[in-house]
């Protein structure tokens, strides 16, 4: 094929991999794969759960993962301005879901937290965590848009607290104490990252302690929730009742030793001694069957997710991206600490899933949506310089020769 005289031949185009955060993506994939295997192991020998089909739960979890991946890709590929424009709609839909739970929800484990739609159980409170983070980030971004210096004042803090107060009140009415604790920690983290003054953060922390005390003394919490806190302070108080979960979880983790008993071979797991082991107590399967090494790898993978979320927040070029990414890190970090802590007996049993690992569609969907938002923020930050908007520089005034 001939070319024009004097013209250079076109260089062959090179394949360029997407500029997504590959460290984050690798850690998320590893956690999802590991979690699916742990769910399979926790349910394969439980005929009371599976009805004799040892692959029933793992097949459901694979469907959950597939749907979650589609949602993650959609958010990752979305235009950044559309993400901000849809944030209020996401918040309103999550609030509507929480209202529907209180009116037509299903009670499970003492909490009215589930909606059954078309044979699928949905927990709106899982989506409310992401909705609150995005809505609070949008409030900060919109308030800071017209300012010379982006400072968080009293009005900003009040608006962000009002945004969080509506879903928090609805969750407390269910009552879902575990999600409430995670949401409270996430809101506190978002306020701190947004730049709220320390004295206000201290006042909020004091108000939270007083509110928790009033909830216990005022009978807002159910009896079984109070019993769980009492069992946390003294696991031997009721070893066959409120303290049973913690006691069996400790035994399962202790059985693992250094390298574990082997996947699908955990004695406590096969016997079904740990309640809700495929959801809230999934970490005990890792501790028993993969040992200290395997459980440590799982924690390290979660640490990589938090590290990359904070890096994305640090590099974000706009207030919305910075606050949203950091808020997701607070959410994942505290929820993982709460879940693993209750399996080890260092946190009270509150019933929250381990992000990206535990069985459940709502938790997987919300977690992968959050990962998609992190990738979206990262892609906008990693865009090559020529495609970014750069404020034009005013030309220097040339003195006239008068």
* Burial of 30 from C-beta contacts in 10 A (0-12 / 13-18 / 19+): middle
Residue 330 lies in a domain: yes
What are the contacts of 381-385 at 24+ separation with CB within 8 A? Answer: 381/312, 381/315, 381/316, 381/317, 381/321, 382/19, 383/19
| Alpha-carbon gap, residue 326 to 322, rounded angstroms | 6
* Burial of 189 from C-beta contacts in 10 A (0-12 / 13-18 / 19+): buried
Residue 293 lies in a domain: yes
pLDDT tens series, the chain, 402 aa: 444 455 555 555 454 556 889 999 999 999 999 999 999 999 988 888 888 888 999 999 999 999 999 999 999 998 877 888 888 888 999 999 999 888 887 776 666 777 877 767 888 999 999 999 999 999 888 876 655 445 677 888 888 889 999 999 898 888 788 888 899 899 998 988 888 888 888 888 888 778 767 766 666 666 666 666 666 666 666 555 557 788 888 889 989 889 999 999 988 888 888 888 899 999 999 999 999 999 999 999 999 999 999 999 999 888 899 999 999 999 999 999 999 998 888 888 888 899 999 998 999 999 999 999 999 999 988 654 444 444 444 555 555 554
Instruction: Provide the number of structural domains found in the chain.
Output: 1
> Are 173 and 102 a contacting pair, CB within 8 Å?
yes
pLDDT of 310 reads: 95
Residue 120 φ then ψ, to 5°: -110, 135
Residue in 142, 192, 190, 184 with CA at minimum distance from that of residue 167: 184
pLDDT of 220 reads: 61
Residue 7 lies in a domain: no
| Alpha-carbon gap, residue 294 to 258, rounded angstroms | 9
Residue 163 lies in a domain: yes
> Are 163 and 134 a contacting pair, CB within 8 Å?
no
pLDDT of 338 reads: 93
pLDDT of 275 reads: 85
Task: Report yes or no on whether pTM surpasses 0.95.
Answer: no
Residue 249 lies in a domain: yes
pLDDT of 51 reads: 81
Residue 387 lies in a domain: no
Domain residues for the domain of 114 are 22-382
Residue 65 lies in a domain: yes
Residue 390 lies in a domain: no
């Amino acid at each position: 094929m001939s070319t024009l005289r004097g013209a250079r031949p076109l260089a062959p185009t090179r394949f360029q991999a997407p500029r997504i955060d590959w460290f984050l993506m690798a850690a998320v994939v590893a956690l999802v794969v590991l979690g699916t295997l742990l769910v399979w192991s926790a349910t394969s020998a439980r005929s009371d759960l599976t009805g004799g089909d040892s692959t029933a739960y793992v097949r459901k979890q694979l469907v959950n993962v597939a749907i979650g991946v589609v949602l993650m890709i959609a958010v990752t590929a979305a235009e950044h301005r559309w993400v901000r424009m849809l944030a209020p709609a996401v918040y309103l839909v999550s609030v509507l879901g929480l209202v529907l739970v209180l009116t037509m929800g299903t009670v499970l484990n003492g909490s009215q937290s589930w909606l059954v739609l078309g044979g699928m159980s949905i927990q709106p409170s899982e989506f409310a965590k992401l909705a609150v983070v995005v809505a609070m980030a949008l409030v900060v971004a919109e308030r800071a848009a017209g300012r010379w210096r982006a400072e968080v004042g009293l009005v900003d803090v009040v608006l962000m607290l009002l945004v969080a107060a509506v879903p928090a009140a609805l969750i407390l009415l269910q009552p879902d104490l575990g999600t409430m604790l995670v949401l409270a920690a996430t809101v506190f983290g978002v306020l701190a990252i947004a730049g709220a003054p320390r004295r206000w953060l201290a006042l909020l922390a004091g108000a939270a302690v007083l509110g928790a005390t009033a909830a216990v003394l005022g009978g807002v919490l159910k009896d079984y929730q109070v019993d769980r806190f009492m069992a946390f302070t003294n696991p031997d108080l009721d070893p066959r009742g409120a303290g049973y979960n913690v006691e069996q979880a400790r035994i399962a983790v202790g059985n693992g030793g250094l390298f574990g008993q082997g996947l699908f071979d955990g004695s406590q797991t096969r016997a079904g001694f740990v309640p809700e082991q495929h959801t809230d107590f999934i970490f005990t399967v890792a501790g028993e069957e993969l040992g200290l090494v395997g459980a440590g790898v799982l924690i390290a993978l979660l640490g990589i997710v938090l590290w990359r979320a904070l890096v994305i927040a640090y590099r974000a070029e706009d207030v919305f991206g910075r606050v949203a990414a950091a808020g997701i890190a607070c959410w994942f970090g505290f929820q993982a600490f709460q879940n693993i802590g209750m399996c080890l007996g260092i946190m009270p049993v509150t019933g929250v899933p381990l992000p990206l690992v535990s069985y459940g569609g709502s938790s997987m969907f919300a977690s992968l949506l959050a990962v998609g938002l992190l990738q979206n923020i990262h892609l906008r930050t990693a865009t090559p310089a020529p495609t970014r908007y750069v404020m034009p520089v005013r030309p220097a005034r040339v003195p006239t020769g008068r």
